[in-house]
Amino acid sequence: MESVTILPLWATLDILNTFSFDIGISLGIMVFLLLLSALMSGSEVAFFSIGVVDQERLKKEDSIASNRILKLLEQPKKLLATILIANNFINVVIVAVSTYVTKLWISDEINPTYSFLIQVVLITFLILLFGEVMPKVYATKYNISLAKFMAPTFQYLKRILSFKLFVGFFSTFIDKKSKEKQNLFQII
């Protein structure tokens, strides 16, 4: 009976010999994109956790930053659609860049299971932890600060994405889905 030797993951990564400028730049881009994803996810919680009391405080403050937040909150569906579209786009790019890095950096002889674990499980874990969970925890504590920081970005993104059909479609879709869930809960 012939035995097949499967090398462990660390034996298939020849990190020192295969690390290149392309891989370094790609990893830097991935870290930057994870930061952007974190800002987008945290912003969703930050903006939508601003209650009536906070809004009154922002009106009294009457600063440029507070007025931006209030202006964005006037159209919550468009704001939510903008945040979700931007965040999903960033996450898709993270996956694409990670696939590129994995193909460049990891030996062709790697077990397909390891490749799957790196490309899917590890990247999903990184996106969930650093791009979703931690930013949302931070945003619940510092919602006004984060909203003030991100408000100019969302005003700009909203203009870019505010094709009436594009954002309108997603706003309507989100609204329909939320109404369907409300109806479902009323039935139950």
pLDDT tens string 32-77: 999 999 999 999 999 999 999 999 999 999 899 999 999 999 999 8
Predicted local distance difference test score (pLDDT) of residue 53: 93
Would you place residue 102 in the very low, low, confident or very high pLDDT band (cuts 50, 70, 90)?
confident
Handedness of CA 146, 148, 153, 156 (dihedral sign): positive
User: 151 pLDDT exceeds 90?
Assistant: yes
Q: How far is residue 45's CA from residue 147's CA, in Å, rounded to a whole number? A: 9
Contact, 71 vs 155, CB < 8 A? yes
User: 11 pLDDT exceeds 60?
Assistant: no
Q: How far is residue 148's CA from residue 37's CA, in Å, rounded to a whole number? A: 17
Predicted local distance difference test score (pLDDT) of residue 178: 67
pLDDT over 70, % of the chain: 72
User: 132 pLDDT exceeds 60?
Assistant: yes
Higher pLDDT, 29 or 4: 29
DSSP letter at 123 equals H
What average pLDDT does this structure show over 79-104? Answer: 88
Least confident of 16-25, 66-75, 90-99, 155-164: 16-25
Higher pLDDT, 49 or 12: 49
User: 9 pLDDT exceeds 60?
Assistant: no
User: 100 pLDDT exceeds 60?
Assistant: yes
Contact, 23 vs 104, CB < 8 A? yes
**Interacting residues of 129 by C-beta distance below 8 A, sequence separation 6+:** none
User: 16 pLDDT exceeds 50?
Assistant: no
Q: Could you give the C-alpha distances from 133 to 37, 45, 119, 148, in angstroms and in order?
A: 11, 11, 20, 20
Predicted local distance difference test score (pLDDT) of residue 182: 58
Cα 16–Cα 22–Cα 24 angle in degrees, nearest 5:
60
Higher pLDDT, 185 or 139: 139
Would you place residue 169 in the very low, low, confident or very high pLDDT band (cuts 50, 70, 90)?
low
What average pLDDT does this structure show over 93-99? Answer: 89
Q: 157, 158, 144: which is closest to 65 by C-alpha? A: 144
